[in-house]
Structures are given as C-alpha cells and as structure tokens.
Structure 1
Amino acid sequence: MDLQSLILPLLIVLLAVPLFLQARKQKRSMAEQQKLQNSIAPGDKVMTTSGVFGTVVSTSDDSIDLEIAPGTTTTWVRAAVREKVNTDTAAEAVEAKKDEAPAEADSAEAAVITESKAEVAEPIEQQKIN
C-alpha cells in the first residue's frame, strides 16, 4: 500500500476524533445544566446568565421568580439561571484573600490614589487657538 491511499482514511480519523470528543463534552455540559435547572427550589440563591443575583421566591415548570432586592421580584425563564451561589462561601473567600495579602491591597489602594492625582491636558482645540 502506498502513502496516497492512506491519506484519506487518516484525515477522516483526525477530523472525526476531535468532533466526537467535543460532542461528548457538550452533551455532558448540557446534562449538568439541565440537572441544575431542575434542582432550583425556593430559597436558593442564584446568578442568571446576565449576571443578576437573586433569591428564588417561587418556581413553575418553565419560569422562576427571583427577588433581586427587598420587595422587588422579577420573573425569569429557568434557562436563564447560570449557577447556584453560596453567599457564605463567597464572603469567606473575600475575607481569606484580604488576610493573605494585605500588602497587595495597600499597593492597590495606593495605585488608585495615584491615578486620581493625574493631570488632565487641555483639549486639542484649545491648544490650536493659543
């Protein structure tokens, strides 16, 4: 058998394997998302795909009601929920990060202060007139 007769089967294999693996990954991801959406219950804290955080007040087959602020409830399609959020864990992570690197936080504050003292140049139109 010569090399030219092996090129076509080799190309087919090289293209088919990544497509197969990608399809499996996508199917697994969709199954996890479906499982998440089916597990949403009142009282859960969630984040939507647009980044809105809220607490689930009530659910129906295809929609959920989120309380995004005290007394403010909005209705969302279940598919708009990206993930459940645990606010206690998030707060602990922020505190731990503050404890780990106080010097980095101080340097970040100094950078903000330095940036606020920047001078602003005259507009170009003013420079041409003078």
Structure 2
Amino acid sequence: MKKLIALALSTAPVAALAAPAAGAPSPWQLPIMLVAFFGIFWLMVWRPQSKRAKEHKNLISALSKGDEVLTSAGIAGKVTKVTDDYIQVEVAANTVLSFQKNAVTATLPKGTIKSI
C-alpha cells in the first residue's frame, strides 16, 4: 500500500506539468479574436447605421414646399411650409399638421396622395 501511494505521489507532479504545456493557447489568440469581433461589429452594425443616418439627413435637408412625404406615424401629406426644425403638412383639404423634420421617413412620388 505504501509503495502504491509513493508511486502515485512521485508521478503526479510530472503529469501536472506535462498537461498544460501541450494545450497552452497562443499569445496572439486574444488580439486576433478582438480584431475579428470589432471587424464584424463594424461591418454588420456600425457602417449600415451610419449610412442610413446620412441618407435620412440628406432627405430632411432636401425637403421643400410641394413634396409629398410620409411621417413616422404613417401620415401622408403634402408639405406646405418648411422652417429650420419644423414642416407643415397638408393631410386633407384645410387640414394642416405641424411635424418636426425628423419625423419624416420618406418622400413619395408626385401624385401618390391623389391616388390613395
């Protein structure tokens, strides 16, 4: 019995030292993974979002009287007045609503409102 315990104790440190050396990770593994994660995040989230924001900014700056627009609330109408931050939209005869420019989600082709 004593010989078995002595044998187990004498080989345990050798096995403990040999196991981690075989599976040691590369020091470059973490930086490569971080760069890959940032690249995927940039391609799938950041770039498309900034592209949409730029398009929306161009849409808002190009608004003018007579444009037919669709708001984020789903209201379609014709722009009657444009100021720095607000627009007035005629949604029906003698019915004009004021909206912030940021509420406009799209411009519609001319004649769309009459066809609705």
Alpha-carbon distance, 1:7 to partner? 2.1
Alpha-carbon distance, 1:91 to partner? 8.9
CA distance in 2, matches of 1:55, 1:89: 10
CA distance in 1, matches of 2:81, 2:113: 24
Specify the code of the residue in structure 2 equivalent to 1:14: A
1:15 to 37, 41, 44: 37
Alpha-carbon distance, 1:49 to partner? 0.7
Pair 1:67-2:90 in alignment: yes
Q: TM-score, normalised by structure 2?
A: 0.70
CA distance in 2, matches of 1:43, 1:91: 13
User: How many pairs are equivalent?
Assistant: 91
From the two aligned structures, give the one with the greater helix fraction: 1
Q: Flag the structure with more relative contact order, 1 or 2, with Cα contacts below 8 A and sequence separation at least 6.
A: 2
Pair 1:24-2:52 in alignment: no
Q: What are the ranges of 5 or more consecutive residues in structure 2 without an aligned counterpart? A: 1-23
Specify the code of the residue in structure 2 equivalent to 1:13: V
CA distance in 2, matches of 1:31, 1:66: 23
CA distance in 2, matches of 1:47, 1:54: 7
Mapping for residues 1-130 of structure 1, pairs under 5 Å? 3-21=25-43, 22-86=45-109, 88=111
Identical counterparts, % of pairs: 26
Q: What are the ranges of 5 or more consecutive residues in structure 1 without an aligned counterpart? A: 93-130
